[in-house]
Chain A
């Protein structure tokens, strides 16, 4: 199994540009998550999904959109990129439930100039 994969690994955007961060998992997990991690600030949840067709906002959803049309894929869309969106973005997946383990992807480093 490849686990959780993310593309691209790195990206530089200009202010106002848009892009989609791709995330895929091959573990048949129900839950998928998008986090951003700023230096020394831990993980902040952007959006999550408990299954195909179901998404919900996390702690910091403004400026982002998601969709979940299949179990495997959970893309994150940035519209009108701003310097405040410079961060490392992690996608994760899990089976769901209380005693749950999240499996993280390798991350996408995004810089907005």
Chain B
């Protein structure tokens, strides 16, 4: 079993839909949870992060962490064609003094007009 599981999709939704992207993980030591967005032929860029459990909102985006279920989610409200990208979850914990994140495979999202 991989440490971080993420459905690669693609997930295709109409413009304006609410999108839910999810990751599960097996390492209960993970403390810091991130979502990166990667446009086609570009490098990933950090979209949101949360520390430990709870919700965090930033505009149309909400990141949610449920440590008891080892499950994290990213919600996108009023999705736009410009949100079409691959979304990678990442999570990290201390390991030998370093904090090297573990990435999911990424979910490809397509928002069609």
Chain A contacts to B: CB under 8 angstroms:
4, 33, 40-43, 45, 48, 50, 56, 58, 90, 92, 96-107
B110 to chain A, nearest CB (A): 14
Binding site for A on B (CB under 8 A): 6, 8, 31-32, 34, 41-46, 49, 51, 88, 92-94, 98-101, 103-106
Q: B44 contacts which of A45, A50, A90 (Cβ < 8 Å)?
A: A90
Task: Decide: B88 and A43 in contact? CB cutoff 8 A.
Answer: yes
Q: A98 contacts which chain B residues (CB < 8 A)? A: 31-32, 92-94, 99
Residues on A with beta carbons closer than 8 Å to the beta carbon of B103: 42-43
Closest to A44 in B: B103
Question: Is the beta-carbon distance between B44 and A99 smaller than 8 angstroms?
Answer: no
The 8 Å CB contact of B45, one of A56, A58, A104, is A104
Q: Which residues of B contact A48 (CB under 8 A)?
A: 98, 100
**Can you report 14 A-B residue pairs in the complex whose CB atoms are below 8 A from each other?**
A4-B43, A42-B105, A48-B98, A56-B98, A90-B44, A92-B43, A97-B99, A99-B32, A99-B51, A100-B99, A103-B45, A104-B43, A106-B43, A107-B43
A contact residues around B44 at 8 Å (CB): 43, 90, 102, 104
10 cross-chain pairs, A with B, having the tightest CB-CB distances, nearest first: A104-B43, A42-B105, A43-B103, A101-B46, A98-B99, A40-B8, A104-B44, A42-B103, A42-B106, A98-B32
Task: List B contacts of A107 (CB < 8 A).
Answer: 41-43
Q: Which residue of B lies closest to A43 (CB)?
A: B103
Contacts A43-B44, A90-B44, A106-B43: A100 and B92 contacting too (C-beta < 8 A)? yes
In the complex, chain B residues whose CB is within 8 Å of the CB of A50? 98
A105 CA to B98 CA, complexed, in Å: 21
* Residues in B whose Cβ lies below 8 Å from that of A106: 42-43
Contact between B100 and A45, CB atoms less than 8 A apart: yes
Chain B residue, CB-CB nearest to A39: B8
CB pair B105–A40 under 8 Å, yes or no, is yes
